[in-house]
Amino acid sequence: MARMTLGNLYGDHLREVMSRADRALAACGYDGLIIGSGSPRYFYLDDSTYPFRPNPRYRAWLPDASPDCFVVYRPGERPRLVFHQPDDYWYLPPALPQGYWVGSFELVVVRSPLELRQHMGTGGRWAVLAEPGPVTEGLGDHDPATLAGMLDYVRAIKTPYELECMALATTAGVRAHRAAEAGFRAGASEYEIHLAYCRAAGAREEELPYNNIIAFDTHAAVLHYQVLDRQRPAGVKSFLIDAGAQHAGYACDITRTYAAAPGAFQDLITALDAAQQALADRVRPGVDYREIHLEAHRAVASILVSQGLVSGSAEAAFETGLTSVFFPHGIGHLLGLMVHDAAGFMAGPGGGVLPKPEGHPYLRLTRTLEPGFAVTIEPGIYFIESLLAQARAEPRGRAIDWPRVEALKPWGGIRIEDNVVAQAGSPRNLTREGFAAAA
198: CATH? 3.90.230.10
Provide the pLDDT for residue 4.
Answer: 72
Provide the pLDDT for residue 417.
Answer: 98
φ/ψ bin of 321: left (φ > 0), alpha (ψ from -120 to 50), beta (otherwise): left
Residues 75 and 99 in one domain: yes
Residues 145 and 168 in one domain: no
- Rounded CA-CA distance 163/114 in Å is 35
Q: What is the number of helices (H) and of strands (E) in the chain?
A: 12, 14
Residues 150 and 164 in one domain: no
Residues 206 and 319 in one domain: yes
Instruction: Count the Cβ atoms, other than its own, within 10 Å of residue 185.
Output: 11
- Rounded CA-CA distance 392/322 in Å is 11
List strand residue ranges (DSSP E) for 199-274, in order. Answer: 213-216, 238-247, 250-259
Domains: count for the chain: 2
Q: Which residues sit opposite 420 in a β-bridge?
A: 375, 429
Residues 299 and 213 in one domain: yes
Residues 194 and 74 in one domain: no
CB of 50 within 8 A of CB of 66?
no
Residues 262 and 354 in one domain: yes
User: Does any domain span residue 262?
Assistant: yes
Exposure of 5 by Cβ count < 10 A (0-12 exposed, 13-18 middle, 19+ buried)? exposed
CB of 246 within 8 A of CB of 207?
yes
CB of 283 within 8 A of CB of 292?
yes
From 134, 154, 174, the end of a domain falls on 154
Kindly report the CA angle at 246 between 376 and 329, in degrees rounded to 5? 25
Q: Which ranges in 255-410 belong to alpha helices (H)?
A: 264-280, 289-306, 314-319, 323-326, 385-392, 402-408
Provide the pLDDT for residue 1.
Answer: 37
Residues 356 and 420 in one domain: yes
Secondary structure of residue 351 in the 3-state scheme: coil
- We report the CATH number of the domain holding residue 106 as 3.40.350.10
For the question of whether the overall pTM of this predicted structure is more than 0.85, the answer is yes
Query: Domain containing 75: what range?
Result: 6-154
User: Does any domain span residue 1?
Assistant: no
- pLDDT block averages, 10 residues each, the chain of length 439: 78 98 98 96 95 97 96 96 95 95 97 90 89 92 97 98 98 98 98 98 97 98 98 98 98 98 98 98 98 98 98 97 98 98 96 96 98 98 98 96 98 98 98 96
From 123, 154, 185, the end of a domain falls on 154
Residues 204 and 183 in one domain: yes
User: Does any domain span residue 176?
Assistant: yes
φ/ψ bin of 352: left (φ > 0), alpha (ψ from -120 to 50), beta (otherwise): left
Question: Of 305, 368, 356, which is closest to residue 329 (Cα–Cα)?
Answer: 356
Question: Of 364, 374, 382, which is closest to residue 429 (Cα–Cα)?
Answer: 374
Question: Of 103, 82, 78, which is closest to residue 34 (Cα–Cα)?
Answer: 82
From 119, 137, 154, the end of a domain falls on 154
Provide the pLDDT for residue 145.
Answer: 96
Handedness of CA 348, 358, 295, 275 (dihedral sign): positive
User: Does any domain span residue 422?
Assistant: yes
Residues 329 and 292 in one domain: yes
Provide the pLDDT for residue 120.
Answer: 78
Residues 90 and 210 in one domain: no
Q: What letter does residue 353 receive in the DSSP assignment? A: B
User: Does any domain span residue 375?
Assistant: yes
- Rounded CA-CA distance 437/423 in Å is 21
Residues 310 and 371 in one domain: yes
